[in-house]
Amino acid sequence: MTLSSPDSIHSGTTKGRPGRPANKPQEAETPPAPGVASITHLASKLAEYLTPAELKKVKEAYRFSDEMHLGQVRKSGEPYISHPIAVAEICADWKLDAQAIMAALLHDVIEDQDVKKEELIERFGAQVANLVDGLSKLEKIEFQSVVEAQAENFRKMLLAMASDVRVILIKLADRLHNMRTLGVMAPAKKRRIAGETMEVYVPIAHRLGLNDIYRELQDLSFSHLYPMRYRTLAKAIKAARGNRREVVKKILDAVKNQLGAAGIEAEVYGREKTLFGIYKKMRNKHLSFSQVLDVYGFRVVVDTVPNCYVALGTLHALYKPMPGKFKDYIAIRKINGYQSLHTTLIGPYGTPVEFQIRTQEMHRTAESGVAAHWLYKTGDQNMSDLQQRTHAWLQSLLDIQQQTGDSAEFLEHVKVDLFPDSVYVFTPKSKIIALPRGATPLDFAYSIHTGIGDHTVSVKINHEPAQLRTELRNGDIVEIETDPNSRPSPTWLSFVRTGKARSAIRHYLRTINLNESVELGQELLSQALGQLGIRGELSSVTIEKLLAESSAKSMDELYADVGIGKRMPALVARHIFGLMDTPVDALPTQPSATTELDPVTIYGSEGVSVQLAPCCLPIPGDQIVGQLRRDQGLVVHTGDCSQAKRLQGKEPDRWIAVQWGNELNRRFDCRIRLLINNEKGILARVAAEIGESDANITYVGMDEDDEHMMTQLRFTIQVKDRVHLAHLIRNLRRVAGVNRVERERT
């Protein structure tokens, strides 16, 4: 992914500040090319809502930008100044304030023309300068990789947005105009910029409720990513438009008459689904175009919230509703503030027709999102619900930044939170919490407060005990139980969904368990070096070279990175081998019998840097293998674990040999499953036998086995080793009413 601007490639000028000819008047405007945005048109838009004094400042910003971009030409041949004017016009459509319009006009002068931020502060004030700075990429900083540079640019933009939402509004306007004029670029660049837009800017527009831009950016990106598919689908839509015109008119007339008869004043109009929306439905549901029946939808805009529900009943009396196709986003609004009633009805000729019913205020928010509410102008006391939601999300970006080690990781966390699908759950006090689809109780806990997440021990969902990895569903009531002595576990990273939860857990594991990670990393690296025939202490010269090339500040930091899986011990060892002036041909591709060290020894009590995989729960006596997982350290699986076998095929370099130690003074979790006759006292007899076999029960569950017409009991128990488990299973098989006992794997 590259965070770039199509306008970064110019012709007719070079980077640097062009000088304006001395005989050119400062007030003169660069003549616009035909069809190109001009300051005159922009000024007429701004005059509708800005004061004369504000308009004067905007024109000053225009003149400065025009001077700085003098001689600079876009790929299309237009004067470059046409681009900042067009961006400012989009911002003017949202009626953004004078400072935002000035920043839109100046948004490329730092990046392209080497203007200093201090000069902008002196000329236009600190707020305008901060906005422009937040929009400028970090081209002057040297990064180790392209990916790191891209991630850092994105991080800077989002953090600037967290302090002032106008940054992202101007950036989205900038990206929208660039996408509208992308046709002159080379195909490869078009695809790259369109892919970045679809991956980053489309989700941000959706998250902020900017649905007009969201839909247009989607379609523009689609047209450049898949031009043939876009053209084919556009042609099919055009043909269908004529065929379905009669159906659309019939529905419109019927709905207007029905609402009028009910005494409801409403605006009713049809709307065509976006090309990308139709394409996504065809792809996800494996449909041909002719099978997509709901290409058209209808929108009903009324005056009050009660009339939304009255209109809904009126429509249901006109056409039959499809079961399970009604959604009330008025009672429970979407995470981006969107509100409407959605219902799908069986229209004329048996065609499904979707209706959206909303008020004028809801419609304004649905189309313009946070741009319809001047978040940056109001204090916390006066914030609307949408503003508060947006403010909370922006603040969460700052929380993630404080807990995150690098820009790439920050980008990974934030992108997780940009997915549009959401689930809505309740606190015990009936407060609604919106989380990404697939979120767990731990995500819920961290969304309330990092301290609650860190100390979570158990959860109740709808007043019933549940596992921390349970996937939450709409309407669940979630109650978190905490313990001051509880701490995050690396296994949590395998199922938490939100960026805030992941960054908080990783932050804890990095800081609190540093010593454990250093010790494990040292052992793993020693093993990898031994397999290459390198033994003993490394020379100071080799260490100095290694630290310089790996960007680690010390050997302890390098060991810690290896211990938490951030660096692969085999790759680090081969790097060290190369630094020792050994010919590359001498590097063994496979460990030899004479150089191979003993496997890493596992005692089960190493702390969180070594964990037993929850999928197979290995116990002493099992054959085991070790997986190095990023930020989770060493994860131990049983040798026959199906999940481990799948992962080994994908990342073979992350697996190392491990073995059980001889002195294991603890109990290990293990899952067993019993098939029983559902008779009186059976559970008590089974539990008593487990206790008499010197095992401890930590979890019990029960469900019906439809295939065998019996009941299954599931236990998580604690045993010493495989021999202890075998003894327990033999004893359970003798219990009356127990038909089968087996160790359970997932």
Span 57-109, pLDDT tens digits: 999 999 988 888 888 888 878 888 889 999 999 888 888 888 889 999 988 88
Please say if 111 is a catalytic residue. Answer: yes
- What is the predicted pLDDT for the residue at 741? 92
Question: pLDDT of 454-510, one tens digit each?
Answer: 899 889 988 888 888 888 887 788 999 988 888 887 778 878 888 788 878 877 776
Could you give the CA distance from residue 187 to residue 166 in angstroms, rounded to a whole number?
Answer: 31
Q: Which residues in the chain are classed under CATH 3.30.70.260? A: 668-743
**6-225: CATH topology:** Hypothetical protein af1432 (1.10.3210)
DSSP 335: T
pLDDT band of 30, cuts 50, 70, 90: very low
DSSP 564: T
Could you give the CA distance from residue 506 to residue 633 in angstroms, rounded to a whole number?
Answer: 11
- What is the predicted pLDDT for the residue at 312? 92
Could you give the CA distance from residue 446 to residue 458 in angstroms, rounded to a whole number?
Answer: 13
Could you give the CA distance from residue 374 to residue 371 in angstroms, rounded to a whole number?
Answer: 7
Q: Kindly name the residue from 111, 174, 417, 606 that is annotated as catalytic.
A: 111
More confident residue, 701 or 600: 701
Answer whether 601's CB lies under 8 Å from 624's CB: no
Question: pLDDT of 244-287, one tens digit each?
Answer: 677 778 888 888 998 988 888 888 888 777 788 888 878 877 77
Q: Which residues in the chain are classed under CATH 1.10.3210.10? A: 6-225
Mean pLDDT in residue range 508-521: 72
**Range among 15-19, 129-133, 300-304 rated most confident:** 300-304
Mean pLDDT in residue range 215-231: 90
* Helix segments in 319-406, DSSP class H: 360-368, 385-403
pLDDT band of 313, cuts 50, 70, 90: very high
Write out the H or E segment, with its range, that includes residue 309: helix 305-318
Answer whether 251's CB lies under 8 Å from 269's CB: no
Q: What is the dihedral of CA 469, 472, 478, 483, to 10 degrees?
A: 20
CATH of 228-370, one of 3.30.460.10, 3.40.50.300, 3.30.70.2860, 3.30.2310.20: 3.30.460.10
Q: Kindly name the residue from 7, 67, 108, 112 that is annotated as catalytic.
A: 112
**668-743: CATH topology:** Alpha-Beta Plaits (3.30.70)
Question: pLDDT of 377-388, one tens digit each?
Answer: 444 444 455 555
| Cα three-residue angle 589-523-598, rounded to 5 degrees | 60
- What is the predicted pLDDT for the residue at 141? 37
pLDDT band of 201, cuts 50, 70, 90: confident
**386-510: CATH topology:** Ubiquitin-like (UB roll) (3.10.20)
- In the chain, the amino acid numbered 338 is Y
For the chain, what percent of residues have pLDDT higher than 90? 10
Q: Which residues in the chain are classed under CATH 3.30.460.10? A: 228-370
The token pair that represents 106 in the structure block: 């100046």
Please say if 742 is a catalytic residue. Answer: no
More confident residue, 167 or 644: 644
Measuring CA to CA, which residue among 639, 589, 594, 637 is closest to residue 617? 637
User: Which distant-in-sequence residues (6+ apart) come within 8 Å of 294 by Cβ?
Assistant: 273, 344, 351, 352, 353, 354
Q: Which residues in the chain are classed under CATH 3.10.20.30? A: 386-510
633-638 and 610-612 strand pairing: parallel
- What is the predicted pLDDT for the residue at 629? 75
Q: What is the pTM of this model?
A: 0.51
Least confident of 33-37, 112-116, 736-740: 33-37
